[in-house]
Amino acid sequence: MLKGKNALVTGSSRGIGEAIARALAADGCNVMMNGFGDADEIERKRASIADDTGATVKFHGADLADEDQIDDLTRCTMEELGSVDILVNNAVIRYFHSIDDFDRKNWRHALAVNVTAPFLLTQNVLPGMRARGWGRVVNFSSVLGLAARSGRADYITSKTAMLGLTRATAAETRGEKNITCNALCPGSVLTPNTEIKITELAEAEAISFEAAKDEYLRRRGQKTGYIEPARVAGLVTFLCQEAASDITGAALPIDRGRSATWLEGLGE
């Protein structure tokens, strides 16, 4: 149980982040949510998590492309919850362009949200973790931090960088008794963003949504179905437990074996 701990989870207004916020709250954490979307819908989700778990759950709508708003998010979390014991860097911006056609403004935006924001948040919360002698940082990489595909330069670069940030943070906290930093590398998770891409595929191929779900996975080499957000959230909560205190600097795939078997089917 994580009773009495306080967590900041970025990108938690929907999808994997929302599942993580709920899982941590259910395990006893107070949680600061962050993200974007319809304000009424976000409030409904925040209140639901708080009511269902009894945890204190707050929301801050910081734009993670803005350094001042990142600092305000950290400050407000510390003021409203008392500390940041757990930092989950989950928020991400995605663009879908080839390198030749990539708008430089979008490139800077992606790196600001996907790489600089996690660095700054880690920088902001580490001193408190050191002072209290306990802390957990969980960064989100991806199977595309372990391999690549065309048209995803910003995402692949960002998610590879998150592996480096994870190792650097683990190296700098290795001498601390109970501070860890690890990265998760999910495969295809059925999130609202994934559903948008499936819908686009269905329209482009003139097939049903269900057929497009299968085709979307086939094209990504993930043969045995989508990963549930709750299972990703369960791995995050495990990494925050005392049982995981010896795990740091790791990059943990949660991808149904996709990254381990990507050569299958390519011939010899």
Q: Which of 95, 155, 216, 226 is catalytic?
A: 155
Please give the Cα distance from 104 to 1 (Å, whole number): 45
Token pair belonging to 94: 């995605």
Q: Which helix (H) or strand (E) holds 108?
A: helix 104-111
Return the residue matching tokens 């996975």.
217
Contact assessment for residue 166 and residue 251, using Cβ atoms and an 8 Å cutoff: yes
Between the CA of residue 50 and those of 21, 29, 232, what are the distances in Å? 10, 10, 20
Q: Which helix (H) or strand (E) holds 133?
A: none
Please give the Cα distance from 42 to 201 (Å, whole number): 28
Catalytic residue at 155? yes
Token pair belonging to 144: 């595309």
| Widest pairwise Cα distance in the chain | 58
Contact assessment for residue 77 and residue 25, using Cβ atoms and an 8 Å cutoff: no
Residues annotated as catalytic (active site), given as ranges: 155
